[in-house]
Amino acid sequence: MNRFWSSLVQRTDPYVPGEQLNQPDLLKLNTNENPYPPSPKVAEAIKEEAENLRLYPSPTVDVLRDAIAGHFNLKRDQVFIGNGSDEVLAFSFMAFFEPGKAIRFPAITYSFYPVYAKIFDIPYELTPMQDDFSIQIEELFNTDGGVIFPNPNAPTGIYLPLDGIKQVLEQNPDQVVIVDEAYIDFAGESAASLVDAYENLLVIQTTSKSRSLAGLRVGYALGQKHLIEALIRIKDSFNSYTIDRLAIQGALASFQDQAYFEETTKKIIATREQTVEKLQSLGFAVIPSQANFVFARHAEKPAEELYLKLKENNVLVRHFNKAPIDNYLRITIGTDQEMNRFIETLSSLV
Amino acid sequence: MNRFWSSLVQRTDPYVPGEQLNQPDLLKLNTNENPYPPSPKVAEAIKEEAENLRLYPSPTVDVLRDAIAGHFNLKRDQVFIGNGSDEVLAFSFMAFFEPGKAIRFPAITYSFYPVYAKIFDIPYELTPMQDDFSIQIEELFNTDGGVIFPNPNAPTGIYLPLDGIKQVLEQNPDQVVIVDEAYIDFAGESAASLVDAYENLLVIQTTSKSRSLAGLRVGYALGQKHLIEALIRIKDSFNSYTIDRLAIQGALASFQDQAYFEETTKKIIATREQTVEKLQSLGFAVIPSQANFVFARHAEKPAEELYLKLKENNVLVRHFNKAPIDNYLRITIGTDQEMNRFIETLSSLV
């Protein structure tokens, strides 16, 4: 603490992202990056736009909003673009949640939510999970301040079908319900199809995972116009130009190459299913994941020990040192070759 | 207003950036962009990095912090990087200013400051200007909550020498004083040289103006370690990765080509001085600017009329419809050829 720090800084409890190590030959399965590069059209578009950097980008990012709206069969004014879905989440906490009114989210979830709640002074309640770590939707009914949860959930990978989401929306008619779909392209149907029907629904997605653009920082929100307008008001009170020219053109090129996106996504899903089987044969209990990662616990070996031994062997996975998930490893799905190397290393440890 | 909007959204009064029109042959002198492209090394670095987009960027941006620290003879932990200086400003309002304690800034200044103050609920007082629109530094002494001002000031372009800044720092020993140096490279000495001596000084700069990177969104703050740490805590409670891979490498390349930067900056300063003379010969009173723009008022023609007629003639400048500056035009300095075209168009109107 320091006498120059505001009370807001003093109450921060910053999020700790996964390690970003840089050693050669590291097998990096810890931050849910896509093992495949983005569509080759992305680099082409970026190279072209690199000649225009002296000029400000569009503050309204309409060209990309139109492309994303088209992809989801929505309108431009139902799309908000942010600097990664984390920025969209931060703006959403500011726009829709209120100091003094408790929001709710599942006890096991994306660990950035309590960080946002602290900085923006939003009280929150953690709702208990079912025994299999899936979300108890009834616990998210009738909230004071609103609801947020990832779907598929993080770090479990469990997908909640749209029927459950509809119930949460209907049982919170005066609060905003945020469905954080960072991993939805590896799972079932997106709640984007519910936007026109529910005035309290905000869906948040990212290009970081399924579109292989973690390094470009483009996320977006889908919702009815009145919710999008609130996000725009926050952004324009904060930073007029959050998305640079290269990010606009790069993300646009990605949305224009749907075939590539579908092909790489299918490959990752297939590798995930094979990895689950191999983990089970090594004595792991694996939570049924619909994301680009799996969450698994070994019958005998403690997760922390495995995490450290894997790291010694140049394989990085993610371990959350926090009950009740402290005996699990979160393992990003790489290519088939990468997962073979992972399984081989792991076999020697269990 | 809408029942789903938080009280924070309801009190927003968003900043309106300069128009970003796109018509062919438009002479765009309204948002203080650099007429010269960035160093050719920037595009090279970006093209190379475009191959690495599937991986997250560094959350700590150390490679760029080191380059900027080296440029200013500071240490890595005295540098914070943000998504444009607007984001750095927003984080600084959160980190150093306190609801209930009034900050002060000059009555004529960057029009984003009151927008930040509103969204973060910081009370503010506008201090009166001298008759020539320069800052009355005594009015910035002994504040409750801190001080912020641009140097050179916006939109006047007037530079405050470091002696004045030292007095403001010394007369606010327990408050943070933010010197917003977006245009400093076209002016006199930066307050960066005072960082080691003043624990309450935060200097904010941008690559948007003098480094021709408005389209890339990279700004930074310089200050003692305890201030930088506060900004990092805010960032890590908001968005772990605000600077994408391309922005990191592009900005780095710019700092590695000092000769190019000095050459283009000198050209703009020379064009500015010629433009001032020509404006004076057309009957304009021009405020002595040390920025890459001039702020000028015609003896007879109202500014709004000139702004509209210039626009009809495909020349865009900025007009702020707000007393006491509503009879001024802010004109960005372009190339010599561009300013010749501007002066020619203007001559036909006055």
Q: Judge contact between B280 and B286, C-beta under 8 A.
A: yes
Nearest chain A residue (CA) to B13: A237
Q: Residue with structure tokens 């209907």?
A: A170
Q: Does ipTM surpass 0.90 in this model?
A: yes
| Identity of the residue in A4, A33, A90 whose CB atom sits nearest the CB atom of B239 | A90
CB within 8 Å: A15 and B241:
no
pLDDT at B344 over 70: yes
Please state whether the peptide bond connecting residue B324 to the residue before it is cis, i.e. omega within 30 degrees of 0: yes
- Give every strand in the sheet of B124-127, ordered side by side: B79-82, B219-223, B201-206, B177-180, B147-150, B103-106, B124-127
Angle, alpha carbons A77-A82-A87 (nearest 5°): 130
Best mutation target among A13, A26, A28, A56 (most B Cβ atoms within 10 Å) is A56
Best mutation target among B4, B96, B332 (most A Cβ atoms within 10 Å) is B4
Give pLDDT, residue A15. Answer: 81
Give pLDDT, residue A140. Answer: 98
Give pLDDT, residue A16. Answer: 80
DSSP conformational letter for B150:
E
Nearest chain A residue (CA) to B232: A14
pLDDT at B1 over 80: no
Q: Judge contact between A149 and A176, C-beta under 8 A.
A: no
What mean pLDDT comes out for the span B269-286? Answer: 98
Nearest chain B residue (CA) to A119: B237
What mean pLDDT comes out for the span A131-141? Answer: 97
| Identity of the residue in B34, B47, B96 whose CB atom sits nearest the CB atom of A6 | B96
The helix/strand/coil state of A315 is: strand
pLDDT at A1 over 70: no
Look at residues A347, A235, A300, A129 and name the one whose alpha carbon lies nearest to residue B14. A235
pLDDT, chain B, mean:
96
Best mutation target among A1, A7, A8 (most B Cβ atoms within 10 Å) is A8
How many helices and strands (H and E) does chain B possess? 11, 12
CB within 8 Å: B17 and A240:
yes
Burial of B269 (0-12, 13-18, 19+ CB in 10 A): middle
Give pLDDT, residue B20. Answer: 72
The model's pLDDT over A199-257, given as tens digits with 9 standing for 90+, comes to 999 999 999 999 999 999 999 999 999 999 999 999 999 999 999 999 999 999 999 99
Confidence of residue A279 (pLDDT cuts 50, 70, 90): very high
Look at residues A121, A119, A178 and name the one whose alpha carbon lies nearest to residue A146. A178
The model's pLDDT over B285-315, given as tens digits with 9 standing for 90+, comes to 999 999 999 999 999 999 999 999 999 999 9
CB within 8 Å: B55 and A215:
yes
Task: List domains and CATH numbers for chain B.
Answer: 17-37+259-347 (3.90.1150.10), 40-256 (3.40.640.10)
The helix/strand/coil state of A126 is: strand
Look at residues A255, A259, A278, A250 and name the one whose alpha carbon lies nearest to residue A334. A278
Give pLDDT, residue A118. Answer: 94
Confidence of residue B24 (pLDDT cuts 50, 70, 90): confident
β-strand B315-316 against B27-28: which pairing, if any? parallel
> Within 13 A of A256's CA, how many CA atoms are on the CB side?
16
CB within 8 Å: B83 and A242:
yes
Q: Judge contact between B90 and A239, C-beta under 8 A.
A: yes
Give pLDDT, residue B18. Answer: 74
CB within 8 Å: A95 and B3:
no
pLDDT, chain A, mean:
96
CB within 8 Å: B244 and A245:
no
Neighbours of B174 (CB within 10 A): 11
| Identity of the residue in A13, A55, A118 whose CB atom sits nearest the CB atom of B215 | A55
DSSP conformational letter for B235:
H
Q: Judge contact between A35 and A334, C-beta under 8 A.
A: yes
pLDDT at A22 over 80: no
Give me the percent of chain B exceeding a pLDDT of 90.
95
Query: How many A-B residue pairs are in contact by the CB < 8 A criterion?
Result: 270
Return the structure tokens found at B143.
Answer: 């504040």
pLDDT at A18 over 80: no
The model's pLDDT over B180-206, given as tens digits with 9 standing for 90+, comes to 999 999 999 999 999 999 999 999 999
How far is B224 from A79, CA to CA, in rounded Å? 40
Chain A residues touching residue B244 (CB < 8 angstroms) = 215-217, 244, 246-247
The helix/strand/coil state of A106 is: strand
The model's pLDDT over A144-175, given as tens digits with 9 standing for 90+, comes to 999 999 999 999 999 999 999 999 999 999 99
The model's pLDDT over A292-304, given as tens digits with 9 standing for 90+, comes to 999 999 999 999 9
How far is A227 from A245, CA to CA, in rounded Å? 25
Q: Judge contact between B209 and B67, C-beta under 8 A.
A: no
Give pLDDT, residue B13. Answer: 84
What mean pLDDT comes out for the span A249-273? Answer: 98
The helix/strand/coil state of B104 is: strand
How far is B350 from B348, CA to CA, in rounded Å? 6
CB within 8 Å: A4 and B98:
no
Burial A149-182 (b: 16+ CB within 10 A, else e): bbbbbbbbbbbbebebbbebbebbeebbbbbbbb
Three-state SS for A271-300 is HHHHHHHHHHHCCEEECCCCCCEEEEEECC
How far is B177 from B162, CA to CA, in rounded Å? 13
Chain B residues touching residue A178 (CB < 8 angstroms) = none
Best mutation target among A2, A3, A6 (most B Cβ atoms within 10 Å) is A6
Burial A218-256 (b: 16+ CB within 10 A, else e): bbbbbbbeebbbbbbbbbbbbbbbbbbbbbbbbbbbbbb
What mean pLDDT comes out for the span B313-324? Answer: 93
What mean pLDDT comes out for the span B58-83? Answer: 97
Please state whether the peptide bond connecting residue B152 to the residue before it is cis, i.e. omega within 30 degrees of 0: yes
Give pLDDT, residue B17. Answer: 76
pTM as predicted: 0.96
Look at residues B6, B89, B85 and name the one whose alpha carbon lies nearest to residue A234. B6
The model's pLDDT over B88-136, given as tens digits with 9 standing for 90+, comes to 999 999 999 999 999 999 999 999 999 999 999 999 999 999 999 999 9
Chain B residues touching residue A215 (CB < 8 angstroms) = 49, 52-57, 244-246
Look at residues B32, B17, B20 and name the one whose alpha carbon lies nearest to residue B289. B32
Return the structure tokens found at B343.
Answer: 């002066």
The secondary structure element, H or E, covering residue A63 is helix A62-72
DSSP per position, A196-255: TT-TTEEEEEESSSTTS-TTT--EEEEE-HHHHHHHHHHHTTT-S--S-HHHHHHHHHHH
